[in-house]
Amino acid sequence: MQSPTWKDPVTAADRVLLEIQRAIVEGQIPAGSKISEPELARRFDLSRAPLREALARLERCHLIERIPNSGARVVKLSVAGLVSLYQLRETLEGLACRLAAEHMTDQEIAEVQQLLDQHLSSQRVREGESYYQEAGDVDFHYRVILGSKNPYLINLLCDELYFIVRMYRVQLGMNGPRVSRAFDEHKAIINAIANRDGELADLLMRRHIGASRRNIESHFKQQGN
């Protein structure tokens, strides 16, 4: 799935960015490991200039941490980090809901409702296909965030926080459960937005994300990462 906020990767730095993002999110480059510029430059067959451009953007979305004259490391996942991240997400997506209830057109709302019905039916057919479930979840949240019509908020959630959230979910194997419940929660949220009840949509979204956080959190503890 490609964010509607991204342009297609025209430059070499763009392309290598996408590859490294995927590699980090999927754990192919392990969390906490050191990033070697010469090594990655060889691996992706380009010079260090576009690679450093990509590293700058990776730092921007919190996937790596850089220390001047020392180098970059992939971020380490932790319970504290997860909690901090989701505290932020709850508040931000809650705000997105409130603004979406104000700014989304009736047609945009109808499209999201239609989308949910599509996902629900296709999910019932492909029982357990986690990819479509996650794609659907991401798609729903994207629509609402875009519906806020707030450029800063959109950039923040879709570009800066999206990948680190995904990294937590992917590396802890959060694909399967919570499917039908999530669909119900999505429906309730979009209905609140359709009724122009921003307060309620905000509350429901916070609950929705809070539940998701507790879900991941429990996996975290039981496998003791």
Write out the residues near its own copies by the rule CB under 8 A.
Answer: 7, 10-11, 14, 49, 52-53, 56-57, 60, 62, 68-69, 81, 84-85, 87-88, 91-92, 94-95, 99, 150-153, 156, 161
Q: Does 74 bind DNA (CB under 7 A)?
A: no
Residue number, 46 or 88, with CB nearest to its own copies: 88
| Among its own copies, DNA, none, partner that 7 touches (CB below 5 to 8 angstroms by kind) | its own copies
Residue number, 6 or 131, with CB nearest to its own copies: 6
Minimal distance in Å, beta carbon 71 to its own copies? 13
| Among DNA, its own copies, none, partner that 107 touches (CB below 5 to 8 angstroms by kind) | none
Q: Does 58 bind DNA (CB under 7 A)?
A: no
| Among DNA, its own copies, none, partner that 81 touches (CB below 5 to 8 angstroms by kind) | its own copies
* Alpha-carbon span 117 to 187, nearest angstrom: 9
Spacing of C-alpha 170 from chain mean position: 11
Minimal distance in Å, beta carbon 103 to its own copies? 11
Beta strand pairing status for 34-35 and 64-67? unpaired
Whether 170 contacts 27, CB under 8 Å: yes
| Among DNA, its own copies, none, partner that 151 touches (CB below 5 to 8 angstroms by kind) | its own copies
Binding site for DNA (CB under 7 A): 10-13, 35-39, 46-50, 52-53, 66-72
